[in-house]
Every structure is written in C-alpha cells, then in structure tokens.
C-alpha cells in the first residue's frame, strides 16, 4: 500500500487529529484541507469547482422515483457533501421527478458562496426506472422555469440538455437553451449523451462548458468526445462512473480486473480506485459519484487524495 495515498479511514483520522490539535492550541479549526480538494480544481466557464462533485440522482426513491425512504437522511447527506468540500452538485428535473431538486433546496438554501448546482432538462418519467425524451423548446423552457422555482434560484449556474430528442431537431433544443441564457435564466450551458458531431453542432450555436456522457473503466465509447472536450477546454462529467461491475456470468473485463487488483494492493476500495483512475485519465474529468449513504459519500470524496502511478494506469489500460 502506498502510504502517501491514504484510505478514507486514514484520511478522516488524520484530519481529526489536526482539528483536535488546532482546538487545543486555540487556533481556528481550518488546519485540514477539505477532502474534495486534493484532486485539484477546474473551470466551468467563469466558475471553478473541485474535481470531485456529487451526483444527486440517488437521493430519491427506488427506481429514481418518488420520495426517499428517509428524507432527513437525504438532506443530511447533502449537507455532509458540502462539509467535505464538494462544491459541485449535479441533479435533474427528472430525478424523482422533481424530488432531488426540492431536497437540495430544503437542505442547502440559502446556498453558500461558491456552490455550483447543475441541473438538466429533456427527459420525462413515465414511471419508476422509465425515461423518455422530450426536448421540445416549449418543454425545455417549462422545465427550466420549474427547476428555478424548486431550487430557489434566479439563475441556474449550469443547465444541461439531458439528451438529444430523436423527434426534435437538435439545433431547436440547443437554441432554446441559448434563448434561456440570453434571458438571464441560465449562466452556462452543457450537453449530455452526445457524440462528437452533436457536440460540434451545439458549439456552433452556443458556448458549451460541459459534456455529461456515460464513462467508466469498462465503458469508454465516449473517448472521442472526451478528446474533443480536452481540445476545447470543456469539462467532461462521467455519469455512471462506478457502474463497471459485471455479472458473474459475463466475460471478465481485464481492465476491471486490473483495477480491482490495484485496489487490493493499495488497501482502498474498488470505487476509490475507479474514481482515482478517472481523475488521472484526464484533467478534463469531473466525476460526480452518487450515493444515498454518508459512509459511501465520504469514501468517494476521499478518493480525490489518491494518485495512481503511471505504471498503474498502464496496467489498467
């Protein structure tokens, strides 16, 4: 195990020792850096955030539908994320639907300076675990207005088109976000679930500051999009960053196996190794691991302090 890359438990113990020493010395309790910050910071347009965010999809009910089993615990989880230095929270109107955004406002409003809340529009929910596209301009405008009210904001820092709609010209959907931006309702625009051509089309209409696509150790179809983001200074937000686990009957992925072996050697969790791999994979990467449990939140955020070596990155491939 590399002693310079502490596990979550070691990190928390170290931080507690520093804070206790500061208290005994009569110093402000600020000696320990926030766990989210060792991964560095990155730009979202004119905003800067830590490179370890939080995805607020799973604070809703089962199937990303309805209320969580324990709303008080969901609000406590959100507050703990901020205590850990997380300053980028990603949500969507379709999470619940509406539940995730409402809980964020209940837990965190009035928002502290520097907190960036990103939300999305363009998907609707027929039922639990069901998603349908609806990126008509009128639907996007209504969704944005509703998100502003639920989040108790006058302007959304980052509004993302959740998905291209096969029934709507992509330029019409992106163009509506541009009009919402001109109206002062959106600060920055992002796109999601796009290919290189769609990203280029969106960039021809409006400045795009982020792309959110599915990406993890075993799912890398968006490598060309990631490369485009690196080239143009666009943040790449991988959704499903921890979803590389496979069924027992599936053919083992050697990349996942290599990462699992590295986690064992390091004495860290597979999730932490995965997040560390994402951070090392590209400086454009902004992971947003989601969870409904504080212990997993703390474990994920602690991964920002873990550095994989060049040799370990080569092993994973």
Which residue among the candidates 95, 159, 170, 215 is catalytic per the annotation? Answer: 95
Strand partners, 89: 54, 117
- Using CA atoms, how far apart are residues 275 and 213, in angstroms rounded to an integer? 16
Residue 33 pLDDT: 52
Q: Are 92 and 119 in contact (CB under 8 A)?
A: yes
Interhelix angle 294-302/71-83, rounded to 10 degrees, is: 20
The SS3 assignment for 284 reads coil
Task: Map out the domains of the chain with their CATH numbers.
Answer: 31-244+282-292 (3.20.20.100)
| Greatest Cα-to-Cα distance within the chain, rounded to the nearest angstrom | 64
Residue 244 pLDDT: 63
What is the mean pLDDT of each successive set of 10 residues along the chain, which is 317 residues long? 37 37 34 72 96 97 97 98 97 98 98 98 97 98 98 98 98 98 98 98 98 96 98 97 63 89 96 96 97 96 96 96
Residue 38 pLDDT: 87
- Using CA atoms, how far apart are residues 301 and 84, in angstroms rounded to an integer? 7
Nearest CA among 247, 249, 295 for reference residue 271: 295
* Phi/psi at 26 (5° precision): 75, 20
Q: Angle CA(52)–CA(188)–CA(206) in degrees, nearest 5? A: 125
What's the pTM value of the predicted model, to 2 decimals? 0.88
Q: Are 209 and 234 in contact (CB under 8 A)?
A: yes
Token pair of 53 as six digits: 């965010």
Residue with tokens 């960036």: 116
The yes-or-no answer on residue 95 being catalytic is: yes
- Using CA atoms, how far apart are residues 248 and 33, in angstroms rounded to an integer? 40
Nearest CA among 24, 46, 52 for reference residue 305: 52
Residue 39 pLDDT: 87
């Amino acid at each position: 195990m590399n002693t310079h890359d502490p596990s979550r438990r070691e990190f928390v113990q170290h931080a507690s020792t520093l804070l206790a020493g500061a208290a005994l010395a009569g110093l402000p309790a600020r000696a320990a850096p926030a766990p989210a910050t060792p991964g560095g910071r990155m730009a979202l347009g004119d905003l800067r955030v830590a490179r370890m965010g939080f995805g607020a999809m799973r604070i809703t009910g089962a199937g990303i539908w309805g209320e969580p089993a324990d709303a008080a615990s969901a609000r406590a989880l959100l507050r703990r994320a901020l205590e850990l230095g997380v300053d980028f929270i990603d949500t969507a109107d379709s999470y619940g639907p509406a539940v995730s955004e409402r809980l964020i406002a209940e837990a965190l409003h009035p928002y502290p300076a520097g907190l960036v809340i990103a939300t999305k529009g363009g998907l609707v929910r027929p039922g639990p675990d069901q998603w349908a596209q609806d990126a008509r301009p009128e639907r996007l405008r209504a969704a944005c207005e509703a998100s502003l009210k639920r989040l108790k904001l006058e302007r959304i820092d980052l509004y993302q088109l959740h998905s291209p709609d096969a029934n709507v010209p992509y330029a019409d959907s992106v163009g509506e976000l541009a009009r919402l931006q001109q109206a002062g309702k959106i600060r920055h625009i992002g796109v999601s679930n796009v290919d290189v051509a769609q990203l280029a089309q969106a960039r021809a209409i409006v400045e795009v500051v982020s792309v959110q696509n599915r990406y993890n150790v075993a799912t890398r179809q968006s490598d060309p999009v990631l490369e485009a983001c690196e080239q143009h200074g666009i943040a790449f937000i991988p959704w499903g960053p921890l979803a590389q686990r496979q069924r027992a009957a599936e053919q083992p992925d050697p990349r996942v196996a290599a990462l699992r072996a590295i986690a064992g050697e390091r004495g860290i969790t597979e999730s932490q190794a995965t997040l560390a791999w994402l951070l090392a994979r590209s400086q454009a990467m902004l992971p947003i691991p989601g969870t409904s449990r504080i212990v997993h939140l703390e474990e994920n955020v602690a991964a920002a302090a873990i550095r994989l070596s060049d040799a370990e990155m080569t092993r994973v491939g």
